[in-house]
Structure 1
Amino acid sequence: MLRRLFVGRSGFLIACLMAVTAASWAQSFNVTKYFTRNSQGGVGIEAEYDLGPDWDCCPPEDIRWMQRIVLRDANGDVKNNVPGYPNGDFIDPRPDQAGGPWDTLPWYDVTYTDAAHTSGFQRGKGKYMEDYPSGWGPFGPMSFNAQTFLVCVDEDLEAFCFIAGFTWGFSVAADGTITRHGAALFGDSPEFGAGVNAGLDRIPDFEPWDYWGECADCPEFTLTVVPEPTTMTAMVLGVLALARRRKRA
């Protein structure tokens, strides 16, 4: 009985280790923080990406984070009457957007080269990003939809192509209550490409850049999202309870 239990546990541990190792080899987005901030009228998110050892799609030094925001009203139409956000579909951040100063390139500015986010803004470079949109409570009902993605940049041609991305965001009720959306992977599409190019064309500093669609031969990414604290606590307690039961047996 004990021998079989030991073998079973070993097999379980080996399987878990293999799964973790396999996941670490793959290209992935990892959302390490994602939570609702009702008192601030928004959410908070932090994420990073990892490239597998066989990555050869785009030179790492040419990879940039990019972000597109789409605001929708209760009818699903573009909401473009929020003060400070004249266009409800835009590349984030615009050079004149609140919270700056931001640069004149279309890449997402709030990125870092270290997990502790102490490197200062890297303006699209680095494996780590964060966003803490706030102050949206007074403008409900509406939805804030973010498309956060990686691109491969050719600075000489002022062009870039899509590598991979994920969506996230939140809804705002009429009373200002925030409901966080689930995060999910997304891919290139004609609608997405048209939205990116329209966002570039709206900003004179961004307008010279061209979006060339999906990069050739890039492998697929996976997405992991940090569990809610209550979910993680329940998982740990469940494992401990199971271990105690087996020990008594």
Structure 2
Amino acid sequence: METALATLRDLAIFLINERHKSEWSLVDVHDIEAFLAILPKGRKRRLTVLRQFFRFARAQKLVLIDPTRGLVAKEANGFRGQTLTLDQQRELFRRWTTEAHVHPHEALVGMLALLHGASSSEVRLLQVTEVDHLSQSVRLGKRPHSVPLDPASWTVLQRCLQHRDAWRTENPYVMVTKGTKAGRSPASTAYLSHILDACGFPPRMIRSTRLVDLVNTLDPKLVAAAFGIDPQAAVIYLADHVDAGRLPAP
């Protein structure tokens, strides 16, 4: 009961302060959607409370139309993560290709995510035998084809391999740490989760930037085929707008 009353209190405050409405009869579906969007994870719970209240309000003649009617508890699938601006992408590119103090592992994870949409897991499990020096390509994860690397990414990869050679290790993976140099296991997921801390951006955000760009530039089905992922997973990254430069001239 206290939770339900707190939800109605929050809605009333929202309607007055944000929507400038002081009567329940003025509330419409757009007001409810805007309120639910404040806490996306609590949408189902809050919508249940609001449906109960507006059924009561309609029975009491406080409203003529139930504004929650037709709303669904589950939001439509869609990408809601953050992405990098062009200036941020350029800054990271320069960091990983020109600044010698940057650790080779950071540069490799960052560049493969920024330019090739590679996940941390794909880079973590990349083995030396999956690097083709002749074609300058690598095999990433479950992708059906080798990924050709641009000169900048290839240079970063070579720097990472040189760092690995300095360990004098038999570990089969490209990324070798102090804890894995004596064994044959890949770097830990915990290590990968913090590898980009110095640059200030998480791996998921960098990878998402590339996927959003590819899916909205190319056919999502082609992107899904190239990355070895389900087509529906690629469609999630479709933006809800069209770049003005892609529209036909009036």
Give the TM-score normalised by the residue count of structure 1. Answer: 0.25
Higher strand share: 1
Q: Which structure carries more relative contact order (alpha carbon 8 Å, separation 6+)?
A: 1
Which structure's CA Rg is the greater one? 2
The structure in which a higher percent of residues are helix is 2
Structure 2 length normalisation: TM-score? 0.25
